[in-house]
Amino acid sequence: MAINKLMHWISGYETKRKKLLKKVPSGPLHDFLSVPFPSLDTPMDKLPILAVDFETTGLDSKADKLLSVGFVLLDQTQIKLNTSYHQIIKTKTQLEESNVIIHQITDDQKEQGQPLNVVVEKLLEALAGKVMLVHFARIERQFLQQACLELYGFAPEFPIIDTLVIAKRQLDKRDVAYDPSELRLSSLRNKYKLPDHHGHDALNDAIATAELLLAQMASKNKKDKVLLKDIIL
Amino acid sequence: MDIELSEISSFIQAIPPFDSLPKPALARLIRELTINYVRKNEALPPEGISDPRLYIVRKGALSCMSDENELISRLGEGDLCTEFCKQSLHLPNDIQERAPRQITTDEDCLVYSLDCEVIRELGEQYPSISDYFSYNSAQRLKNKMSKVNEEAIVSSSLMNTSVSDFYHSPVAGIDASQSIQQAAIEMTEKGYSCLVVLDKTKSIGIITDKDIRRRCVAEGLPITTCIGEIMTQNMTTIDIKNNAYDALMTMTAKRIHHLPVTKQGEVVGMVTVTDLMNNEGHNAINFSSIIHKAKTVDELKGISALLPQLQIRLAKLGASADHVGKSVSAITMAFTKRLIEMAEELFGQAPVPYAWLAAGSQARQEQLAHSDQDNGIIICDSMKPYDDAWFENLANFVCDGLASCGFIYCPGDIMATNPKWRQPQKVWQKYFDGWVDTPTPKALLNSSVFFDLETICGDASLLDSVRKNLLQKTTKSSLFIAHLSKNALGLRPPLGFFRDFVLEQKGKHKDTLDLKHNGIAPIVDLARIYALSQGISAVNTIERIKQAAGSAAITKSSAENLIDAYEFLGILRVKHQANRLMQGLEADNHLSPKELSKLEREHLKDAFKVIKTLQDSRQASF
């Protein structure tokens, strides 16, 4: 943990943001990088967070495609549905049947989607000055970086809160063996007695993740104010 | 939009009044939601929210406490908390309702909330929304009941009953090669006005009285002509799955009086216009006439077994509780009268004039199938001590007869077989005088059943003059009325519901709602007090409230509210009992909240509030 924090301080996302801002030409990525990220000492109840979820054709950000993006704003511990966004992306690849089953996104729907650049632009606009919240960060981080690389030639660092990692840290601390399935979004929601969630669309999953974070934070002792640096990835 | 927030929208659209919104409006509303997570033992509104909002519990539980720290209600999943909207929406407080000051979470809660302004704007476009939020419980209940009454007229029975409830089966068939005369003989023998014409076993047409008249006799055809010549081919039929209303419409449209009923294409029965028209008449009147023809107690017993069926039927037809109560009471009266006639045949004429009295629910005409019997006999003062033997015989015969017809003996022994309740007029008068002059609470509790008393059979003037004297006394005795009120106020309606429990005063939970003791009886008690204090001779609850309306006892509008509450509770009771009877279970009064829709729970809560308000004002008046 201590090393983690030190790393943030030396090569923190703010330093990286400023560095990259100088290289990136004007455009959506430049606009995104122009807004400072929240400070690591920001308390949770003041923190602007964007809960994000992607649906993809697979796990490999280079070979697989982004299918849809959903996000919602979690601002000062309130999830505001009027900030919610959901968009299916128009890609050229034919969808494999197995994926259609999981995501329920058909080729037809995909045809009516928006091109990748439009969707990523929307996401970057919403994400500026905020921390990204996801469940299992690898997918969203890699796919978003890959998309930025393809669209703008650069892959920025994003400050991320990962509800899976928060849960994992808690479980690890207890030093008791656990089943990895306990870390699934739906299992963790059950643990906090949140309503049943049958997600698999990007926006519902983003909202479900935001609710889970609120429950995780509420379970902590109220007097110990949780700061961004306590939970950032 | 509707696919993306499907989980939230399916939750919201199940909650009244949002269930009335069309899809696009619902989608707009959902976009305006804010989600908060509130820890256990914290107050609403959640930290950071200062604008007035409507809260919807998604998960968890809230308690609303009054200024005096008394529990007013508990809210669970799917419940709305309007407390913080009241000012900005100008919501009325319920009459005498103390506004809850403190709303706290009993568990960690996930709550959705909406800006009151959104509700206001939505209300401008959708009256169902503004109505829901701008009415108090009494007004909401009134709307519900006027809708119920309208529906009862529209759906009036036939829509709710299947053809299968009416049709005659099997149908009488006749081969197409038979003569017209043969058909007429067949019809006369069987008492049918219609036969299905068969080609071997296949039905190919229909022949009716009218066909014989018009196509044979009027045309001068020989009666030896085979029926194939005059039958109606390509007959109109109706599938057994249709409702009775469809059958009636088909017959009206085609101007026919007979309609073969088919099941998977095969003719299995016949339904006639008369069957459908008699539907409404298939009620107490028919029943009473069969009872009147019965010769023995055993025959009566057989008829009484049909009583639960009648109650189910009435409930299915959408009859009001008032209607069901009056029908069942009328039938019990018919049973009693017939038994008395049988007794008089057996024991000879009564030595002196008398009247058989019914007490309690039968007297009030609010009886449901096979409740227990409460009765007595009032005898002319000219009776001699030895005359009682005759009346004892009568009492034993009638009470035993009623018991074998399913009206169980009164557990409190309020029956004519008990010498105490088989007395000359002057003794009855003395009983009543005693109860009114020295109203000990216990005596009142036991005897209040006698304040609802009606003559079933015999000389009605005996009871009428006792009642006249009684009412003269009760209108003047405030002590008596105060004691009666105190007794009556012992039964309080619950606060409402919490999740699938009934929430009682002081926050206790119960699994079931006792519709009789926690809803209907308190209203019956109030009505009795109004009647006795105002000198009203009616005993039927609705009649008593109607007559007391506008008197010192109760205002006109409160009276209307109380009747609405009474009728709503009655509907639920009749429906619940019909469901039980159909499953072959005993018709009880214990309703599980699980049987109730969200809206029904809301209406029940409104009814409880109306009762509580009037109980409170009763309490304040003595």
What is the value of ipTM here, to two decimals? 0.89
The token duo for B598 is 């969200």
The pLDDT value given to residue A6: 55
pLDDT at A95: 59
The residue with greater pLDDT, B453 or B154, is B453
Q: How confident is the model at residue B464 (pLDDT cuts 50, 70, 90)?
A: very high
| Distance from C-alpha of B102 to C-alpha of B43, rounded to nearest angstrom | 7
A110: distance to nearest CA of chain B, Å?
Answer: 14
Residues B525, B539: Cα–Cα separation, whole Å: 11
The torsion angles phi and psi of B527, rounded to 5 degrees, stand at: -60, -40
Question: Is residue B570 within 8 Å of residue B323, measured between CB atoms?
Answer: no
Per-residue pLDDT tens over the stretch B483-493:
888 888 888 89
Burial class (CB in 10 A: 0-12, 13-18, 19+), A212: buried
CB contact (8 A) between residue A78 and residue B36: yes
> CA–CA separation, A172 vs A176, rounded Å?
7
Give mean pLDDT, residues B340-348: 95
Could you give the domains of chain B? 6-134 (2.60.120.10), 167-277 (3.10.580.10), 284-464 (3.30.460.10), 487-620 (1.20.120)
Q: Taking 90 as the threshold, does the pLDDT of residue B345 lie above it?
A: yes
CA B10 to chain centre: 32
Token match 């709307």: residue? B143
Q: Reduced to 3 states, what is the DSSP secondary structure of residue B313?
A: helix
Strand partners, B102: B65
Q: What is the pLDDT of residue B158?
A: 61
> What letters, b where the CB count within 10 A reaches 16 and e where it falls short, cover B348-373?
eebbbbbbbbbbbbbbbbbbbbbbbb
Distance CA A66, CA A95 (A): 11
Chain A residues whose beta carbon lies within 8 Å of the beta carbon of residue B46: 77-78
pLDDT at position B168 over 60: yes
Name the pTM for this structure: 0.73
For B505-564, write each residue's pLDDT tens digit: 777 888 899 999 899 999 999 999 999 999 999 999 999 999 999 999 999 999 999 999
Question: By CB neighbour count within 10 A (0-12 exposed, 13-18 middle, 19+ buried), where does A32 fall?
Answer: buried
Q: Which residues of A touch B (CB under 8 A)?
A: 45, 70, 76-82, 84, 86, 192-195, 197-198, 201, 203-204, 207, 210-211, 214-215, 217-218, 222
- Measured in angstroms, the CA of B106 and the nearest CA of chain A are apart by 14
Confidence check: pLDDT of B280 > 60: no
**d(C-alpha B5, C-alpha B399), whole Å:** 65
Nearest by Cα to B208 from B274, B164, B282, B265:
B274
pLDDT score of B487? 84
Q: Could you report the per-residue pLDDT of B65-102, keeping only the tens digit for each?
A: 887 788 888 999 999 998 888 776 766 655 445 555 78
Contact between B531 and B547 (Cβ < 8 Å): yes
Q: pLDDT for B565-583, tens place per residue?
A: 999 999 899 989 988 888 8
Model confidence at B165, pLDDT cuts 50, 70, 90, reads: confident
Q: Which residues of A touch B49 (CB under 8 A)?
A: 78
> B340: pLDDT confidence band, cut at 50, 70 and 90?
very high
CA distance B175 to B200: 7
Nearest chain B CA: its distance from A207 CA (Å): 9
The residues facing B203 across adjacent strands are: B198
Highest mean predicted confidence (pLDDT) among A74-88, A104-118, B157-171? A74-88
Give tens-digit pLDDT for B466-505: 999 999 999 999 889 988 888 888 888 998 888 888 888 7
pLDDT of residue A173: 87
User: Which of the residue ranges A28-42, A186-200, B235-249 has the most confident prediction, judged by mean pLDDT?
Assistant: A28-42
Q: Give mean pLDDT, residues A64-88.
A: 93
Q: Which pLDDT belongs to residue A221? A: 77
Domains of chain A: 2-231 (3.30.420.10)
Chain B residue at shortest CA distance from A77: B36
Tokens of B262: 């088919």
> Which conformational region is residue B157 in: left (phi greater than 0), alpha (psi within -120 to 50 degrees), or beta?
left
Considering only CB atoms, B33 lies closest to which of A81, A195, A222, namely: A81
- CA nearest to B224, candidates B160, B279, B277, B181: B181
Closest CB to B37 among A81, A86, A211: A211
Residues B287-324 pLDDT 10s: 777 888 889 999 999 888 878 877 887 777 666 788 88
Chain mean pLDDT for chain B: 86
In angstroms, the CA B450 to CA B374 distance is 9
User: How do residues B351-409 score in pLDDT, each as one tens digit?
Assistant: 999 999 999 999 999 988 768 899 999 999 999 999 999 999 999 999 999 999 999 99
pLDDT tens digits for A95-117? Answer: 565 566 556 666 667 677 899 99
DSSP string, B243-274: BHHHHHHHHHHHT-SEEEEEETTEEEEEEEHH
Contacts of A201 in chain B (CB under 8 A): 3-4, 6
**What confidence tens digit (pLDDT) does each residue in B103-123 have?**
999 999 999 999 999 998 998
What's the Cα-to-Cα distance from A15 to each of A31, A34, A38, A159, B176, rounded to whole Å? 16, 12, 13, 12, 101
Apex CA B523: angle with CA B519 and CA B524, to 5°?
Answer: 115
**Residue B49 in tokens:** 């929210």
**pLDDT by residue (tens digit) across B588-610?**
899 999 988 888 898 999 999 99
pLDDT, position B92? 64
CA angle B163/B164/B170 to nearest 5° reads 115
B34/A222 CB distance under 8 A? no
Please give the pLDDT value at position B326: 84
Is the minimum CB–CB distance between B106 and chain A shorter than 8 Å?
no
Tokens 């009244």 correspond to B16
Q: Which residues of B touch A204 (CB under 8 A)?
A: 4-7
Give me the residue from B3, B8, B34 closest to A78, CB to CB.
Answer: B34
Smallest Cβ–Cβ distance between B110 and the set A45, A198, A211 belongs to: A211
pLDDT recorded at residue A144: 96
| pLDDT of amino acid B156 | 52
Mutate to test the interface with A, among B53, B55, B110 (most CBs of A within 10 A): B110
In a 3-state reduction of DSSP, which class is residue A149? helix
Using DSSP's 3-state secondary structure scheme, residue A136 falls into: coil
- Nearest chain A Cα to B77, which residue? A195
Please check the confidence at residue A1 and state whether its pLDDT lies above 60: no
pLDDT over 80 (residue B445): no
What pLDDT, on a 0 to 100 scale, did the predictor assign at position B532? 94
- Within 8 A of A215 by CB-CB distance, chain B residues are 37, 108, 110
Higher pLDDT, B267 or A194: A194
pLDDT of residue B279: 58
Q: Give the model's pLDDT for residue A224.
A: 75
Distance in angstroms (rounded) separating the CA atoms of residues A72 and A50: 6
Q: Which of B2, B7, B56 to mutate to test the interface with A (most CBs of A within 10 A)?
A: B7
Q: What are A145-172's pLDDT values in tens digits?
A: 999 999 999 999 999 999 999 999 988 8
- Which residues make Cβ contacts (< 8 Å) with residue B605, sequence separation at least 6? B137, B496, B497
Amino acid at B346: L
Q: What count of CB pairs under 8 Å joins A to B? A: 74
